[in-house]
Structure 1
Amino acid sequence: MSAPFYIGQRLKGKLNWYNITKHLKIVFGWQGVRIEARELTTCTNSERSQTGQSVVIKSVRHFRLENERDVLKQFQGRSPFIRPLIDEIIEPQDPPAIVVKFLDDHLLNATTSKHLSKHEIKYVARRVLQALSVLHRDGFVHTDIKPDNILVNYRTGAGSIRFTDVQLADCGSTVPACSKYAKDGDLIGAPIWRSPEAQLQIGWDTSTDIWSFGAMVCVYTRHAFVIGF
């Protein structure tokens, strides 16, 4: 199966035009091809000339894309630590696609070559907790807290902390704690970060995010961490 979008293709959004410059990741699954991310440069509506701003296009024929769009709209502008929705693609209409902010990397990649320092752990943790606080105040559960869903921009020049921006991403499976998914204990997240109640499928709420967050912090602070499931 081939990707539904090609390098050089121009897509029309509700607010702007976008020119595909790079395939970031292509995943085959769910209902056909899933284009998880595209690196793009924006174009003006009038001349459609490249302006150089990089964004990401997420495209998949799956309800999670629509859910992510709706969740991001609800929380738009309420936290600088949740990756924002920038636009929605309207041409072509199929496959559906949304435009989100581009960041340099995710935490999993950022820590493969160099461990996080104590200051960096605090810096990242504070921002992730603030993002979760906004979601949880409205009764929403992210459900998939893990290093590769925490995006970062790298700092240029010297400094004790490598990062500038830190944003929580991938709200495709974010749902209210009062939803049927939560009450029925639907299996969520990656096994290594999954809370006991989610693993046992006995119902979960916002506390499952805190478990996943705590497990991640334990790993990065090199504390003993036992997975017993």
Structure 2
Amino acid sequence: MTPDQSVDFEEITHRFSHLWQALNCGSDETRQILIDRVRDALDRGEARLSGAAPGIIANSFVLEALVHDGAATQIYRARHRDLGTLHAIKMPRPDHADDPVLRKLMLREAEIGMALRHPHISGTQAVLRLADGRPALIMEWLGSRLADRLREKPLSPDEVISIMISVLSSLEAIHAAGFVHCDLSPLNLLFADGDLCGLKIADFGIAIETGSRHGQLDLAFAGQPDFASPEQMAGRPLNGRSDLYAAGLLLSLLLRHCDGEGEELQALAIRLSQRNPEDRPENAKAALHLLGGLAKHTVDA
């Protein structure tokens, strides 16, 4: 509307009166349909008036907060407009919208995350395509990271064992599906409502098929150097034992934040994180068996 165009407020009032009558008459289903249409119209109108992109995607998710702003991707806490449920939404940064390698990696991450189902794995729930063509991964919302929890207060030996059972059981499922996670660290171990028993492995952005190398994905190196196995650092083909190396370093870190004795757990950590893959346990199931014996010993003690 240009400045010289007049506004017919009487007509607007008249139309609003009819709308109000419609909203207060008829069935609940009809009323809800009308409310949704009004809300959608207001959303579109707000975007035109403000000149800024609305914090709503797919007409379904309201972006509430940016919780991770990485070099190539962003993660938002989002709420479903109708269900009220919280979700994490991962998408490429706008300045990486045309990055073909990143797009390929994110779609791979979605495929892997949707194929894995386990109580201690944070999977992908759906994939959306944004208006500018970027993929957006919809995942369950888990508001706490183990990395943050370690800074708050010491862990008990039982909590250390619980965390490692969650990690190793989920690794067993990941490896059984033919993948190596490749990015195990406290940053990618999430939980909700302060419940460490609900700990889940997240972020399959650099997961690969067993026996593959990251160079096959056009990545010179992928992972966190503090937790990556020697073979991963060297760009060699990987299998589940590479994740066990990271699990060993994770266990050592947990024990440094533990307020109890843990000599046997430390011995397990050393065995898991041997530089030679052949010196580590054969697989996650074998590591779980070793951990189970320590857990039983702790309970009996």
Provide the TM-score with structure 1 as the length reference.
Answer: 0.77
In terms of Rg, which structure is larger? 2
Residue type matched to 1:138 in 2?
A
Aligned residues: 201
Residue type matched to 1:64 in 2?
L
Shift of residue 154, structure 1, vs aligned partner:
3.0
Quick one: distance in 2 between partners of 1:90 and 1:197?
Answer: 36
Gaps of 5+ in 2: 1-51, 257-265, 276-301
Q: Which moved more, 1:183-192 or 1:62-71?
A: 183-192
What is the RMSD of the two structures over their aligned residues, measured on CA atoms?
2.8
Q: Does residue 189 of structure 2 align to residue 150 of structure 1? A: yes
Equivalent position of 2:196 in the other structure: 163
The partner residue of 2:113 within 56, 72, 75 is 72
- Structure 2 CA distance for partners of 1:202 and 1:64, relative to 1, 3 Å: closer
The partner residue of 2:90 within 58, 64, 87 is 58
Shift of residue 66, structure 1, vs aligned partner:
0.9
Equivalent position of 1:10 in the other structure: 56
Equivalent position of 2:158 in the other structure: 119
Equivalent position of 1:48 in the other structure: none
Shift of residue 74, structure 1, vs aligned partner:
1.6
Quick one: distance in 2 between partners of 1:212 and 1:54?
Answer: 30
CA contact (8 A) 1:23 1:38 kept: yes
Equivalent position of 2:66 in the other structure: 23
Q: Does residue 92 of structure 2 align to residue 38 of structure 1? A: no
Higher helix residue share? 2
SS in structure 1 opposite 2:111?
A: helix
CA contact (8 A) 2:162 2:197 kept: no
Gaps of 5+ in 1: 1-5, 45-50, 156-161
- The equivalences for 1:209-228 within 5 A come to 209-222=243-256, 223=266
Shift of residue 188, structure 1, vs aligned partner:
3.4
Quick one: distance in 2 between partners of 1:87 and 1:138?
Answer: 20
Quick one: distance in 1 between partners of 2:132 and 2:120?
Answer: 29
Shift of residue 139, structure 1, vs aligned partner:
2.1
Provide the TM-score with structure 2 as the length reference.
Answer: 0.60
Q: Does residue 126 of structure 2 align to residue 87 of structure 1? A: yes
SS in structure 1 opposite 2:70?
A: strand
Residue type matched to 1:12 in 2?
A
> What are the superposed Cα offsets for residues 73-102 of structure 1, whole Å, 9 maximum, x if unpaired?
221xx3111102122223425221111011
Shift of residue 67, structure 1, vs aligned partner:
1.2
Shift of residue 218, structure 1, vs aligned partner:
1.1
Whose relative contact order is higher, 1 or 2, with alpha carbons under 8 Å and at least 6 apart?
A: 1
Residue type matched to 2:108 in 1?
N
Equivalent position of 1:110 in the other structure: 149
How many percent identity over aligned positions?
20
Shift of residue 64, structure 1, vs aligned partner:
2.1
The partner residue of 1:176 within 209, 221, 226 is 209
Equivalent position of 1:201 in the other structure: 235
Quick one: distance in 2 between partners of 1:118 and 1:7?
Answer: 49
Quick one: distance in 2 between partners of 1:115 and 1:7?
Answer: 43
CA contact (8 A) 1:54 1:102 kept: yes
SS in structure 2 opposite 1:80?
A: coil
SS in structure 1 opposite 2:89?
A: strand
- Structure 2 CA distance for partners of 1:180 and 1:197, relative to 1, 3 Å: closer
Higher strand residue share? 1
Shift of residue 133, structure 1, vs aligned partner:
0.4
